[in-house]
Every structure is written in structure tokens, then in C-alpha cells.
Structure 1
Amino acid sequence: MKRTLAKSIAIFVVTLGVTLSFVLLNHQSPLPIRLEPMARSFVLWLHGLGDSGPANEPIKTFFTSAVFANTKWSFPSAPNNPVTCNYGSVMPSWFDIHEIPVTADSPQDEGDVLKAVQKVHVMIDKEIAAGTNPNNVFICGFSQGGALTLASILLYPKTLGGGAVFSGWVPFNSSILQRVTEDAKKTPILWSHGMADRTVLFEAGQAGPPFLEKAGVSCEFKAYPALGHSLNNEELHNLESWIKSRLHSSS
């Protein structure tokens, strides 16, 4: 198969500045306002090709709602591996990518993807064993991390709180759907993609919802007309609201 001339993926990490807003309670209220305490929650963020976990940590500053006070964040870094689309250069990579730009028909290294999925599942299992309800576990990822997020959600045997894919793609063919359990099908997916993306083409993102529909998985797809291969503030604010609406209280 003729490969598209490879280019390194430029990962844009948004520098975030957020001013926290504090809501003052009405002191004239005769009765104290009792809020249902939020249980422990977990957000795992998977970065893109060539990036690192620590470089993405500013993302959590967008999540200013009080419901995230008991949220544990994890920003792991991918291991260094040779990457075919970058002429075999060694860089942080969850799995091999054969061509850039990624299209809806790009070849996939499914075996490599499945190895990466196993590593993500170990992280999820560890957090659940520590006491976090699976319904309060959220996996999110950008670009290659988004593709890995999708694979990890579909192949995890339990229902999780949700998975969020940003500028990602489907990293395997439809035969994988036979391995998706009924519990995994109940995990909702949020998919966001820039229509001006020249690294992971918009067509690759558009292929996601039909693929998930075959699996019986709920997917909310959001297109951003002027967005290239990057994250923007609107996507992250929407992610905050999306996760917030799915968090479970301690009761």
C-alpha cells in the first residue's frame, strides 16, 4: 500500500488559565444547605503521539466545579517506540502508526493496539481495586490517545462512566466488535473532532459513530468547523459538563 509522506504530528497542548468562581451562600437562609457528597472519581488522560503525560496536566485546571474535588487525575506517558509513519524514529507512542494523515481507511496495527489496551486496563483495574466505582471512571484521550481510549473502553469488561475521544480514529476493524461485552456497550462515548484537521482527517472521526452504532454503543459526536489537530477551550468545557452530568454521588 502506498504510504502518505510521513510528517511528525504536532501536538498542541493548550496553556490554560482559569479563574475560579466562588458561589456565596445566602446567609439569610434559616436552614443550612446540605449537598450530597461526591464519591471518589477517576479521570485517565491519554496523550497523543510524541507528547507526554505531564505536558497535558494543565487540562485538569478546566475542571473547576466542586464535584471534581474528590477526583483523581492520571496523566501517564507512553513508552518510547519506533513509529513507522515517522521513518521508524523512536518517540513516545502507545502503538505503531503506519501513515499520516490518518484516514478512514488507514492500515492499522491491531496487535500493537491490543498490547496498549492491556496496559490501560491495568491502570483502570488498579483504580477500581482502590475503591473507585467503575461508573465514576472516565477515560479520555487526544489523537493516538483518543484511538486508544476508544479501544480500551470497548474491550473493558465492565461499564465505565464514559470515554471521550478527541481527534481520534477507530484503530481496528469491525471484527473486534465480537469481543465487546454487553456491559462495555453501556459505556457512553463523547467524540470531538476538528473539521480542519489535517493530521487525523475529519473523515476518520466521522467513521467513529457508525462503527459504534454497529456495536450498540451510544456516541455523542461534536464537529468543530475551524479546528485543526488540537484541543480548544470549548471542547474541554464541554467535557467538564459531560463528565459532571455522569458522576455518581457517594450514596
Structure 2
Amino acid sequence: METETVEAEAAPAGLCKGFGPQSPRDIGSLEGLNERIFARAPSTKTLNLCNIHTHTNAEHKGPGFSVFAGPGDHGGYKCNDGDQLTAEELKDPAHGFGAFKGVKPGDTIEVHWVFSSCAVMPGQGLGSCLSETCSNPALRVEAQTFLLVNDPEALDFADFTYRGHTSEGYHQPMTLPEGTGEPVVYAGSTTGPKYTESICSPLQVTWSVRPQCARLDIASLYRWAEEGNVFKEDHSHGVRQLVTAPELLSPIESTVIVTRWDEPLKVE
């Protein structure tokens, strides 16, 4: 989730200081020394969906996406089983001309559904989550990492998009992904490649990150862009490298992280 760059006063160790906890992080680690506390955003059911976008490779690191893709804007993490795809699953149905740019079969993406406490309509970028009368909203981001495949039997992105859907008066996606483990909820910030451990994001975000990958039919992502969407998304964005400095991370409460479908591991 990207925002405008804000320069922070650098600490002696090169870390920005005076900011709240940052994102992305390794959701398998509970460590964190950042003492800035803010109220957890409420359930998505009582917030307005304001934006949906993707990052090529996962910004977070998790049990199901722990393969390091390298440094820089195009680094991040890949789904663990990305090297097990068949030739057919790796075949691009658009032959390199898909309407959604920056991805191909075999790639990993992390999708962010951004929700705001402001009375806003879904739209382009983080600006759609704010308004003139609501400049400091409670923000929640639901995150799911997908492995893109050429397979019409895989998940369809249309099931997770916004198609004018409302519930109890709030703008909502059609649904959110299920079956990929209990989401790890933590206090963090907005992300995107313009931020580092020395240039921090000032916005406070409640994150809900699912720990396992799911397979997504790449043709459905192409259709989302081809048909047009209110978010004006037609390409996948770069990543912010993992934040590892404990001073920039919030502590995560004890939780259950799924390491295998049949073996939940309780992390104390």
C-alpha cells in the first residue's frame, strides 16, 4: 500500500525515529520494540473498502511465501511452491500482452484490500481512503499472497473485487480469501518501494496478513484490468523491502501460524 514519501530524522544507526511501527515484516516473528501504540482498526464490515492493488512478489514474509526474491523494488518474497508448476500452468494465455502489466504465470503477487473509517468511495490510490473532513482515518489492510497460474480451475480474481457491492451501507469486496490460514494481525504502516528503514511511513495501519499462498488464475487478473476498475489498476507495483529492525516493529500477540495444513503451530 503506497503513500507519499516523508523524510524522517535519521537515528544514529540509520533508522528513522519518531515514527510508529512499520511494514512489511516477517509475520512468523513476534519480535518488536516499537512502543508507539494506536487503536486497532475495527472489522472490515464496519469500514469502507477504498482501494485494491497488488505488489509483484510478497512484501511480507510468511510461512507460505519465504523464498527471497532479492533486494530492491522488485525483490520481496515468492510462494514456496512456485518452482513446482507444470509447463501448462506456466503458459501465458495472453502471450505477453495481458491487460494487467508486470506479471506472468509463475509470479507471486501480494494483494492489498485497503479499508477506511472515512465515508469515502472506492477509488485510485491511498488518496481515495481520505477526505477533506476525514484526514486521519482508521486504516485496515487485508493481505493475501497469490501464486499466478494459467489454470481456469484456480481462484478467480472477480470473486474478490469490488463491483459496486455494499453491505450494511459500507463499500465491500465481493468476498475476501479464506482457507489460507488464520490471518496474523499487527500494527504497522503503509508500504511501497519509496520507503526504507531510514525513510518511514507516517500512517498507521492495522494489518491482517494470511500466512499461506493461494493459486490465482492469471487470466482473471487480465480480465480485471481489461474490463476496467474504479481503482484504475492496470499493473502490479514494486515492494518495500522487509523491515527487520526491532525498533521499527510492533510486538505481535501470541497467535497461531499455519506451517502445514494439518499442523498448526502455536507461537508463544
Give the structure-1-normalised TM-score.
0.25
Give the structure-2-normalised TM-score.
0.24
Question: 1 or 2, which has the higher helix percentage?
Answer: 1
Question: 1 or 2, which has the higher strand percentage?
Answer: 2
Q: Indicate the structure (1 or 2) with the bigger Cα radius of gyration.
A: 1
